[in-house]
Amino acid sequence: MKILGIIPARFASSRFPGKPLADIGGKSMIQRVYEQALKAKSLSKVVVATDDARILSHVMSFGGDAVMTAENHPSGTDRCFEAFQKAGGTSKYDYVVNIQGDEPFIEPEIIDQLTTLLDFKTEIATAVKKIKDYQTLFDPNVVKAVLTMRKQCLYFSRQTVPYVRGFEPETWLDHADFYKHIGLYAYRSDVLEQISHIPTSPLENTEKLEQLRWLGYGYKIYAIVTEYESIGVDTVEDLEKLKEII
């Protein structure tokens, strides 16, 4: 099985312009993500998909592989699809893994765990982590996933779901399992092409979650439950906190 890892990297982030080039302990964010992704044993190739010549030049300067994509892609998935086409498309790769470009310390093992779900039947796969604290549980910036017994994703929400009837919210973790969604996706090649052409959906527009478009159109998403944590950098403040940690 041939699996292509793609790291979307935009320069013009509204909350943190130039984020992929931000320095973290002597290396740029995008270099750290790239080097971590290269350690995943399941990926046949890793490429950065960018819309900016500065990022392209930087990736090439440290020996990385990168392709230029259009500036006007509405999502990382659309950018992934263009990069996927330029890398050879369905004739060369069976699956594509979309790796977030703002998680400089992503564990390669979580990528390898995700790819264990890929069997040519799986349309889309993602990762989740069990929530163990109430701050995370009730944080609307943390997306929650609701799973079936077979780990098929039923829904994603910024709201705390499921609702535990008959118990006070401060005891909910004692009575139900809750999962934090980790924004790592694997798409079957033909499915990536399909979801890149379907229009937005009401649920997606309501919660501002792209994966709700796919569920709304009937695509099946399966999840791997991991113990690895994801640490994303959305703002300059996030970056400073990360530097303090390391």
**pLDDT tens over the chain, length 246 residues:** 999 999 999 887 767 778 899 888 889 999 999 999 999 999 999 999 999 999 999 999 999 999 999 888 888 898 999 999 999 888 899 999 999 988 998 999 999 999 999 999 999 999 999 999 999 999 998 999 999 999 999 999 999 999 999 999 999 999 999 999 998 999 999 999 999 999 999 999 999 999 999 999 999 999 999 999 877 767 767 767 766 666
C-alpha dist (Å) from residue 18 to 102, 105, 108: 11, 18, 24
Quick check: helix, strand or coil at residue 58?
A: helix
Residue of 185, 231, 222, 204 lying closest to 79 (CA atoms) = 185
- How far apart, in whole angstroms, are the C-alpha atoms of residue 79 and residue 216? 21
- Total number of domains in the chain: 1
Res 14: pLDDT: 63
* pLDDT value for 95: 98
pLDDT for residue 146: 98
Distance CA(86)–CA(68), nearest Å, equals 9
How far is Cα 97 from Cα 184, in angstroms, rounded to an integer? 7
Residue 232, CB-side half-sphere exposure with 13 Å CA sphere: 12
Token pair belonging to 175: 């009575």
0.75 exceeded by the pTM? yes
Largest Cα span, the chain: 58
Q: For the domain that residue 231 is a member of, what is the CATH number?
A: 3.90.550.10
Tokens 């964010």 locate to 29
Q: What is the pLDDT of residue 128?
A: 97
Domain that holds residue 159: 3-245
Q: How far is CA 142 from the centre of its chain?
A: 13
Question: How far apart, in whole angstroms, are the C-alpha atoms of residue 81 and residue 197?
Answer: 10
How far is Cα 81 from Cα 102, in angstroms, rounded to an integer? 19
Angle among Cα 163, 164, 169 to the nearest 5 degrees reads 95
- HSE-up of residue 98 (Cα within 13 Å, Cβ side): 25
| pLDDT value, residue 112 | 97
